[in-house]
Structure 1
Amino acid sequence: MRLPLVSLFAALSLSVGSAAQAADNAPPPQVEAWPLQQTGAVGTSIFFQDRAAARATDALLARFDGKPPEGLIGWIVVPNGEDQLVRFLIGDPSAPLPGYDILVDKNGRAGAVIEATGAALPDDQAVRYFARNTAASGIGQLRCAARYNAVVLDDPDGDGWLVWLLASTTDANKVPMGGHYRFHISADGRTVEKREQLSGACLDLDRRQSGQNGQPVGLVTNVIVAPQPLEIHVFLSLLNRLPIYVAAGDKLWGVQGALIREIDTSQRR
């Protein structure tokens, strides 16, 4: 389970106010659901980026004796072949500058902390940062965690960005199943084109209740905003190394990492 380091996240994470705010009584709208293979691929990309940010955070804090260096305003994660380049940013949020770079390989191993060179952040990287902040400013009413982690990916269906705000926890036994968001952000990173609430309510599951005879088996949840599992279930399955069983669209689905399959319940009694 990813455990955000409190000292760095207090400075850089997306603060969204009080945790566990209740949504209004209106049911949440349905969200876009991609084909299962695409859902698995997107959820895997979310996991790789989130893991890279966590491992780079560990490496940066280790380099500076457990405290974040002064002047940090956030970070972005930039794909680098099969690896991920995590860039910790400094300067004014309206004109972010590269501060420290850490390359995280495809297996999640963080390299050395390198002071970034160059006076400016490339435009295509700066808009990733703007997109992240634009999403954070529009999170909305359902806030299931005090702090959220952000993942920014290219929108496969347009020239803009997809940004996920992921409810985070420092409790190794807690799995935040609810409270995650997906945003469609304009190509310049400045405008929310669509905001999608990926759950109907806050829901934290306990890993300790997923076992049988002391061995992990899986987690069980339901989805009311889509007729099938979403990329967030793929991400959480990979993050927690557990299958997730999802009731959605009058069907039962099994999510094992990137693999999503419908489970035949016709023979069950």
Structure 2
Amino acid sequence: MHHRPFLSAVAAACMASGAAAGALAKPPVPAVSEVEQQAIRDAGTRGALLYAYDQAAWHGTDEMMAKLPDARSKVGGWIVDGPAEAPQLVFFDRDTAAPHAVFVADFRNGKLVSSRVAGPGEPALSPERRRLIAARAAATEALKAKGFQRCSAQAMNTVVLPPAAPDAPIYVYLLTPQPDMNTIPFGGHYRVAVGPDGQPGEIRPFTNSCIAMSARPPAGAKSAALVITHLLDPVPTEIHVFSSLVAHVPVMVATKDGRIWAVAGPRITPIGKIAH
């Protein structure tokens, strides 16, 4: 039996408004400035880290709960760092002045490769990791103080990205959780920049409203892509990269200037432009 490619309901809406794939201009591919190319590289790197760290926290929590039965009385929080292909998850104790690891899990290429319950002689976490922990707390409080639109009654997921350079900010993401494995939330995600001094700065949303898309195709179809418009940036963001990795399909993004982008994991490619 042949399977029909399935685009999301947003794709159908685009088609109804005249922005169907057939309305895309033929090559040449739309121009991308040097500034935009750097933004694309940053989005790809951050999106891949977001996904790797979020997956490590998810699967590592299951592993920790199985090996550390009294975890709820010992664990004060967690942090993930390292490269996207080999992140390390550390659950730490309730010593706020000098936290120590109580459980450590290592991942490679999305798979758990080792884990251990930390012993009583474990050294305190490094200053770099303590800075990540402090950044999460500062960002969470700053977002609460500002007030923000929630797109789920569930607790938001948090991911902290280490600074790209010693004087660069730490980016703390507060993400709307998936209500189920077949729904991809695009709205209700926030990024808070925490400076080297530990003070939260820019708080930015990635959408103006709550948006969630089904990744489950109708019966007899297979998912080919998700399609969404994005008005806040000239190019796709790390949230589009993250969502593509979560959904395991490309995300087609139409930006406000009419350019169409294919986001396949960390790869972001301009593929056309909507004809007016």
Q: TM-score, normalised by structure 1?
A: 0.78
Indicate yes or no: 2:142 matched with 1:135: no
- Rounded to whole Å, the distance in 2 between the matches of 1:81 and 1:42 is 9
- Rounded to whole Å, the distance in 2 between the matches of 1:73 and 1:265 is 49
Structure 2 counterpart of 1:260, which letter? Answer: I
Hey, what does 1:44 align to over in structure 2? 48
Structure 2 counterpart of 1:49, which letter? Answer: Y
Identity of aligned residues (%): 26
- Rounded to whole Å, the distance in 2 between the matches of 1:156 and 1:80 is 12
2:107 pairs with one of 104, 108, 128? 104
Hey, what does 1:76 align to over in structure 2? 79
Structure 1 residues 94 and 175: alpha-carbon distance in aligned structure 2, compared to 1, 3 A threshold:
farther
Hey, what does 1:172 align to over in structure 2? 181
1:97/1:120 contact within 8 Å kept: yes
CA shift, 1:201, in A, is 1.0
- Rounded to whole Å, the distance in 1 between the matches of 2:163 and 2:91 is 23
CA shift, 1:211, in A, is 5.5
- Residues 116-131 of structure 1 mapped to structure 2, 5 A cutoff: 116=119, 117-131=121-135
1:43/1:234 contact within 8 Å kept: yes
Hey, what does 2:90 align to over in structure 1? 87
- Rounded to whole Å, the distance in 2 between the matches of 1:170 and 1:104 is 25
2:52/2:84 contact within 8 Å kept: no
- Rounded to whole Å, the distance in 2 between the matches of 1:138 and 1:94 is 21
1:115-159 Cα shifts (integer Å, max 9, x gaps): 154242221111111111111112231111221222222333643
Structure 2 counterpart of 1:193, which letter? Answer: G
1:233/1:244 contact within 8 Å kept: yes
- Rounded to whole Å, the distance in 2 between the matches of 1:64 and 1:154 is 27
Q: Which has the larger radius of gyration?
A: 2
Indicate yes or no: 2:207 matched with 1:204: no
Segments of structure 1 that go 5 or more residues without pairing to the other structure are 1-31
Question: Per the alignment, in what secondary structure is the counterpart of residue 96 of structure 1?
Answer: coil
1:211/1:218 contact within 8 Å kept: no
Structure 2 counterpart of 1:231, which letter? Answer: E
2:139/2:192 contact within 8 Å kept: yes
Hey, what does 2:190 align to over in structure 1? 181
Larger deviation, residues 106-115 vs 237-246 = 106-115
Hey, what does 2:156 align to over in structure 1? 148
- Rounded to whole Å, the distance in 2 between the matches of 1:36 and 1:154 is 19
Hey, what does 2:60 align to over in structure 1? 56
Q: TM-score, normalised by structure 2?
A: 0.76
Structure 1 residues 56 and 35: alpha-carbon distance in aligned structure 2, compared to 1, 3 A threshold:
same
**Which has the larger helix fraction?**
2
- Rounded to whole Å, the distance in 2 between the matches of 1:147 and 1:41 is 26
Hey, what does 1:162 align to over in structure 2? 171
Structure 1 residues 93 and 225: alpha-carbon distance in aligned structure 2, compared to 1, 3 A threshold:
farther
- Rounded to whole Å, the distance in 1 between the matches of 2:168 and 2:268 is 27
Structure 1 residues 50 and 192: alpha-carbon distance in aligned structure 2, compared to 1, 3 A threshold:
same
1:56/1:110 contact within 8 Å kept: no
Structure 2 counterpart of 1:253, which letter? Answer: W
Structure 1 counterpart of 2:222, which letter? Answer: Q
Segments of structure 2 that go 5 or more residues without pairing to the other structure are 1-34
CA shift, 1:95, in A, is 4.3
Root mean square deviation of aligned Cα: 2.6
- Rounded to whole Å, the distance in 2 between the matches of 1:78 and 1:57 is 15
1:75/1:89 contact within 8 Å kept: yes
1:51/1:108 contact within 8 Å kept: no
Question: Per the alignment, in what secondary structure is the counterpart of residue 136 of structure 1?
Answer: helix
CA shift, 1:184, in A, is 0.9
CA shift, 1:111, in A, is 1.5
Question: Per the alignment, in what secondary structure is the counterpart of residue 184 of structure 1?
Answer: strand
- Structure 1 runs of 4+ aligned residues shifted over 6 Å read none
1:40/1:259 contact within 8 Å kept: yes
